[in-house]
Structure 1
Amino acid sequence: MTRRHFRGLPALSCAALVLTACASPASTDTTGAAKAAARPSGGTDYPAQVTNCGRTVRVEKAPERIVSFFPSNTELLLRLGLKDRIAGQTWTNQSPPKPAYATDYRKVKVLAPGEIGREALLAARPDFIVADGEYQFDGKKLPTITELARLGVPVYIDSAFCPKTTGTATLAATTTDLTALGTLLDARPAALRAAAETRERLAAVDKALTGRPATTAAMVQIVDKQLYALAGGLYSDVVRRAGGRNLLDDAVPKGSNFAPLSVEALAKKNPDVLIYHYTGAADRAASAQWLKTHLAATSAVRHGRLIAVPAADFSELRAVDGTVTLAKSLHPDAF
């Protein structure tokens, strides 16, 4: 499992005062977003707002101190040309950056390698947050999303992991987020180019796999020696677009995308391929050994068809990278 599934100082006073001073009353005005969509130059007229996870996310001006939760969000912001407007990032321990972003990624300040606390977040003086899920904003370790909005810090959640759509999300969430963030962050031209590239890459995969039978697969992760099924929503859509069929779709509750799984249940399904998530080199090696030991009788292990994928490859633009990479692993002769 990625950790998104485990809902696991004078500087602070100054930051809190600054954020409170920036707070503004909520508004239902939609003219900003409408004007942005109509402008031929592609720029944004402010204020601007979008709907995200059933909430209105509104900005009065282009954010200048963006905080990114999760590596894939940092890379998305870099793809939008916003490297000088990222105030910091968290959860960097979940994956090294993609080579294309590595130089700029490593220049972004790390606020916390894993979970961040209230003091560290507010001390960064964010005016916008892009996060991989709502679970962290519980009002305890971090303020709630509503509390942050009152402080003038809007929070945008990856569309694929909105609570009500986690179990049904598809790769279309990537272009949804590109469109929304391009508008909110005054980066629409770059967002449009990235969205077009996304569509082209996925269309090329679809073309290469036309007429090929799906490979039976199981997507899993091992955390603290517990096996988890990853299925439904974006996970299974990536497998499908990559030319596979996730045999674990019936192993997770409706509306969810993960669940504990017994070794016996997975062995009984006997997938041709085991796809496993990892967060670092040590985790990758340990997970591979665990699968080889506990599932030695499966077709996947017997034929050496274990595919390791970084956990961060399943959100935003990295989900597209993950799809392309997985397709080439499942059907190497098609590319």
Structure 2
Amino acid sequence: MNHPTARSRPPLGRTRPALVGAAAALAALLTACGSPAPADSGKPASAVADAGNRTTYPAQAENCGRTVKVDRAPERIVSFFPSNTELLLELGLKDRIAGQTWTNQSPPKPAYADAYKSLRVLAPGEMSRETLLAALPDFILADGEYQFDGTKLPTIDELAGLGVPVYIDSAFCPKTTGTATLDATTDDLTALGALLDAKAPAQKATSALRDRLAAVDTSVGARPATPVAMVQIVDKQLYALSGGLYSDILRRAGGNDLLTGSVPAGSNFCPYSAEDLAKKNPGVLVYHYTGEEDRAASEAWLRSHLGATEAVVKNRLVAVPAADFSELRAVDGTVALAKALHPDAS
């Protein structure tokens, strides 16, 4: 995901020889386990499901400007980011999750807490290539492309060559990060439901998502938009979070994003000065956090540096887990923000 928490982390500094060795090991292990890299069947791939809502394989979906193809229903899915893990659980795929990473970005939502206990954590934060390949994935659901750089992890093309397709959260595709909307979540549900042979639960989740957003629209109604800024503090540096999904969520929740235009085109975050934010005098400050310690430190920073703003004076600081703004959690974030921005709404 394009967010300062992940972007601020140093690379692992792995070497290309390690990649070649790990890739060869994965190919051998996949073959030994009876799951060889997919061969070209000569038939056109399709993500069309039959009348029984079962996917007809091979299947494919467009994602971030590339075609994601699978020859069979993936059985060893690796999830990057808590929101992706929860999406897979919502689709009923618990037994097909081979592992997860970036779990330090947020505890699970209560509805998924029990299921999380049986899921393997490959790494609490950034994962090494060795750990990823040792998990023998046959599908990866990731929060962004930034990690697959050929150094920290194999590239997406290299993984595809090993028979491991990578699907990226649509809201954080590089070319659409700055313009994405909540529609990205329904797009992903449709695509993943077909690719992973989980079309019926994907349709159910999509319907529930739309109902919840419709309820937000009704509750917010024609109320005046609340002046709000969404930020994150990383290593004592303030970051503006704006554009793409972040701005769409604020708009949908009944907010006026004061940081519109402050982030470079095509992105959704950038370093920002406390002085410039103070001049905008937000009525509400929404800040992302990764854990309770980070939450407390971030609130203390905001109160110290933005103490004269209306948001701090009126104690309108809204803390949200960093994982609450992607996939199904994007809807959770929208609902929570609507209540925070308009507490008197029904």
> Which deviations, in whole Å up to 9, do the C-alpha atoms of 1:36-72 show, x marking residues without a partner?
2xx2211101000000001000000000000000000
The match for 2:145 is: 134
* Number of the residue aligned with 1:106: 117
Within 1, Cα distance between the matches of 2:45 and 2:22? Answer: 37
Instruction: Provide structure 1 residue ranges, at least 5 long, that are not aligned to the other structure.
Output: none
The answer to whether the Cα contact below 8 Å between 2:45 and 2:69 also exists between their aligned partners in 1 is no
128, 136, 141: which is aligned to 1:125? 136
Aligned equivalents of 1:7 and 1:272: distance in 2?
31
Kindly report which structure 2 residues correspond to 1:89-100, keeping only aligned pairs within 5 A, or say none. Answer: 89-100=100-111
Structure 1 residue 249, shift from structure 2 partner: 1.1
Q: 1:216 aligns with which of 213, 223, 227?
A: 227
State the number of aligned residues: 332
Deviation by residue 1:140-165 (Cα, 9 ceiling, x = unmatched): 12100000000000000000000000
1:284 to 295, 308, 324: 295
Q: Tell me which protein shows more helix as a share of its residues.
A: 1
Q: Contact 1:4–1:133 (CA<8 Å) still a contact in 2? A: no
Under a length normalisation based on structure 2, what TM-score does the superposition of the two structures give? 0.92
Question: Using the alignment, how far apart are the partners of 2:59 and 2:160 within structure 1?
Answer: 14
Tell me, in whole angstroms, the C-alpha distance in 2 between the residues paired with 1:253 and 1:229.
Answer: 11
Report how far residue 268 of structure 1 moved. 0.5
Q: Report the AA paired with residue 3 of structure 1.
A: T
Tell me which residue corresponds to 1:4. 6
Q: Secondary structure at the match of 1:333?
A: coil
CA drift at 1:245: 1.1
Q: Shift of the alpha carbon at 1:33?
A: 1.7
Tell me the distance in 2 between the aligned counterparts of 1:28 and 1:204: 47
Per-residue Cα deviation, 1:2-57 (whole angstroms, up to 9, x for no partner): 433336499986434134772235689545323x2xx2211101000000001000
Task: Output aligned runs, 1:1-335, within 5 Å.
Answer: 1-6=3-8, 8=10, 14-19=25-30, 22-25=36-39, 30-34=44-48, 36=49, 39-335=50-346
Bigger shift: 7-16 or 227-236?
A: 7-16
> 2:67 is matched by which residue type in structure 1?
T
2:5 aligned partner, one-letter code:
R
Report if aligned partners of 1:30, 1:49 keep a CA contact under 8 Å in 2: no
Q: Over aligned residues, Cα RMSD in angstroms? A: 1.8
SS at match of 2:261: helix
* Structure 2 letter corresponding to 1:64: E
Q: State whether residues 243 and 327 of structure 1, in contact with CA within 8 Å, keep that contact through their aligned partners in structure 2.
A: yes
Shift, 1:107, TM fit: 1.3
Retained in 1: the 8 A contact 2:61–2:67?
A: yes
Please tell me whether the aligned partners of residues 73 and 196 of structure 2 are also in contact (alpha carbons under 8 angstroms): yes
1:105 Cα deviation from its structure 2 partner: 1.4
CA distance in 1, matches of 2:315, 2:269: 25
AA partner of residue 171 (structure 1): L
Shift of residue 333 of structure 1? 1.1
79 and 65 in structure 1: CA distance in 2 versus 1, 3 angstrom threshold: same
Q: What residue number does 2:14 align with?
A: none
- Percent identity over paired residues: 69
Give the secondary-structure state (helix, strand or coil) at the position aligned to 2:201. helix
TM-score, length-scaled by structure 1? 0.95
In the TM superposition, what is the alpha-carbon distance from 1:326 to its structure 2 partner? Answer: 0.8
